[in-house]
């Protein structure tokens, strides 16, 4: 399975591509950033990001696209640009009927390091180690995109719904599944469900 990870951003949109093989063996394929210049108008910046994402999707033909779920930040302009870039990634995938998964930064950190509060450098080191790279991917947006792709590959789908599946998970994957289940319950409570 080819997974394309996207760390959305308006200036730098990280793109990482991995292959998830048998026995959760992960292989590095590609990492890059799609850029747009802050000197351009907003519409042209969005077009540049969209075109770059489409080119990556067409080049690597992923089976799934894993995108960082946008969360509220103190800088409104940053969160708006990030949300717009995430939307473009979802659109580009949907137009090609490629399944999309959204993962929070905490989920990615937990899947990669076993600690949802891990520092960026810890995540970068683990991405490097998991994929057998000689050097850490740069810039950080690129490493984050690979982390999102790895997170999707390691997700414990249905892990807590059946005891047999849970037995085959690592401690980090069990912890991540529990955190994801807790977040789902909390979102439901926030919506009054």
Tell me if residue 190 is catalytic.
no
- What's the order of all strands across the beta sheet hosting 26-35? 26-35, 12-20, 2-7, 64-68, 100-103
Please identify which of the residues 58, 68, 164, 190 carries the catalytic annotation.
68
Which DSSP state fits 99? -
- The answer to whether 68 is annotated as binding is yes
Tokens for 15?
Answer: 């793109």
- The answer to whether 63 is annotated as binding is no
For residue 9, give the nearest of 30, 37, 41, 31 by alpha carbon: 37
Backbone angles phi, psi at 17, to 5 degrees: -125, 130
Tell me if residue 141 is catalytic.
yes
Please identify which of the residues 7, 107, 124, 144 carries the catalytic annotation.
7
Torsion 123-177-94-99 (CA) sign: positive
Please identify which of the residues 107, 124, 141, 144 carries the catalytic annotation.
141
Q: What is the DSSP string of 11-34?
A: SEEEEEEEEE-GGG-EEEEEEEEE
CA distance 101 to 148: 10
- The answer to whether 107 is annotated as binding is no
Tell me if residue 166 is catalytic.
no
Would you list which residues are annotated within the binding site for Mg(2+)? 7, 68, 141
Would you list which residues are annotated within the binding site? 7, 68, 141
Which residue numbers are catalytic?
A: 7, 68, 141
């Amino acid at each position: 399975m080819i997974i394309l990870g996207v760390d959305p951003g308006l200036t730098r949109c990280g793109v990482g591509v991995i292959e998830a093989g048998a026995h959760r063996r992960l292989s590095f394929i590609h990492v890059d950033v799609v850029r747009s210049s802050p000197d351009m108008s907003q519409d042209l910046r969005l077009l540049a990001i969209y075109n770059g994402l489409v080119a990556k999707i067409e080049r690597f033909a992923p089976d799934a696209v894993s995108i960082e779920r946008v969360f509220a930040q103190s800088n409104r302009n940053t969160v708006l640009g990030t949300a717009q870039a995430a939307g473009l990634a979802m659109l580009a995938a949907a137009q090609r009927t490629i399944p999309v998964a959204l993962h929070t930064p905490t989920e990615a950190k937990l899947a990669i390091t076993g600690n949802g509060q891990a520092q960026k450098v810890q995540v970068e080191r683990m991405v490097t180690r998991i994929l057998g790279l000689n050097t850490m991917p740069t810039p950080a947006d690129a490493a984050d995109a690979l982390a999102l792709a790895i997170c999707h590959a390691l997700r414990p789908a249905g892990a807590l719904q059946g005891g047999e599946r849970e037995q085959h998970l690592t401690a980090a994957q069990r912890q991540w599944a529990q955190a994801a289940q807790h977040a789902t319950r909390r979102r439901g409570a926030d919506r009054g469900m």
